[in-house]
Structure 1
Amino acid sequence: MDFNETAVFVKVVESGSFSAAARLIGSPTSTISTRVARLEKRLGVTLLQRTTRKLQLTEAGEIYFKHAAKGLHHILDAESAVVESVAEPAGRLCITAPADLGDHILSEIISTMRQHCPKVTLELVLMNRYVDLIAEGIDVAIRTGSLADSTLVAKKVGTACWAPFASPAFLETIDPPENPQDLRHYSCLQFSALGKASWTLYNQSNSVTVPMPGTVVVNDVGLMHAMAIAGEGIALLPTYLYENTGHAGKLVRILPEWHAKADPIHIVYPRQQFMPPKLRYFIDLASELLEKRLGGISRSSMAEG
């Protein structure tokens, strides 16, 4: 069996003539005609009725073309898949992530990607809103919180846990709180996304809602972070911001058995039959690093000095 004959026959039918198929394949028209004739002889049927103006599939030709074209396309897909699996990552890769995910986490991912994939051009778009990846030309997203139903592929890589922190200087001016209800008596910096009127904290078995006076309410984690370091009060902040040693001693986690909301973090990307090597490498790398940083809800003082 000569699969070249089958491939030539499929190309002749798809292009509409022997001459057109010859141009696409890069062979003389006589060679194309000979291969189709050999196929017909081997099968013992006429596949094409030849006229001066056009080609007409016979009934047997229609049956053969229907199955042969499908099989040929599967073979070509298989070859493409193998080529992609061994190809070196290259080209532009656009990534979006929350602005408050943490500079040290993102910089580690980008730095490692650059070292191992020098032919990949990285574009990082930081924003806290969800974007339409396909419409805006973005290859992959890191997202926090619950995901809406969609056709996108989502891979969970960790948990974003929020907990109360304060600076050592601020803690020196107060008696440390012994339970969540004590927080109402202190200056607290409220992140509007976590509630303007109260905080809800959880431990292993209970939850407590604590009314807040609301003296300072902001919607930016970076500002909350800076104000907490400056000793302005107690703030709910994501624990992953304090994984790196650069924050050691600047903030202390209080009530370490308690935490606020804990949101899942996913890597999200459009579903596709064959994933480009650059995207596959990024997903594997980011998954490994994020799972290491965000594996669960930490209950230790992440930044005690």
Structure 2
Amino acid sequence: MTAVQAPYARIAAELRGRIERGELLPGDRVPSTRAITQRWGVAMATASKVLALLGQEGLVRAVPGVGTVVAARPAAGGPGRRPAAEDDTAQRTRIIRAAVALADAEGLAALTMRRLGAELGVSAMSLYRHVSNKEQLVVLMADAAFGEEALPERPPAGWRERLELSAALQWRLYRTHPWLAGAMNLSRPLLIPNGIRHIDWALAALDGLGLDADTRMHAAVTLFGYVRGHAVDLEPETDATRTSGVTGQEWMHAQETRLAALVDSGAFPAFAAARTGSALSPESLLHHGLTTLLDGLATRITTPPH
């Protein structure tokens, strides 16, 4: 015969589950005794026992002038509790994923701590227990994004193929996350581990080719910056398409009459001659420049690869 759980224990278990799943983050208010009586239809004494039990487990704490909130460091060892460090990691991961999804959908400008809190159903202040500010959040988002495209453990044999693969993976990331290129800055680099991994990959690819360390470093960072530079236009283009409903290709098509008039004016003969048969796209420009960059680097290699 199954034992009937006391009302206060049942309600506490429901709130405990919400805390463990990260639906209520540290600093978030939990239902007050009055709210518990109204929602679950129990007496005030029962509602008090709910909060008292959660407090004994170290899950909540009373804050004068605020109410009862989720504890910043839930005590380990309570019924069904995970270690606090594991909880904190899971909650931060949840915050980062939600921030990336928001930036992907609406751009980095739309990402604010208040908006993110609303998306997660928590207060903005509770987010600061896991990230110091928006700047730190963006760093964590960028690192998480670069971590989505893992470089293979077994790289291609040739140095050029390795650099081409790294560039392709970076471009794909920027396409997936249009805000990412704008968040990067070579003058004040974010120093994210998953981004540095691409630099390290390029340096390893260029090792043993007769290039000095300074040349290898410049080549690796130049490659990274080259791809990022082409990707910087992706977020403005995504924003323009979203707000206007007109794609870049449609916009260019609408400019054909004006462009034809400029060409036919005779003021730009070289442009008119080269335009015939030329089809430009973000990808064609990326690949043309990458080929030229790697061709130039090849001329500086003095030791043939084995």
Provide TM-score, normalisation by structure 2: 0.25
**Higher strand fraction (1 or 2):** 1
**Higher helix fraction (1 or 2):** 2
Provide TM-score, normalisation by structure 1: 0.25
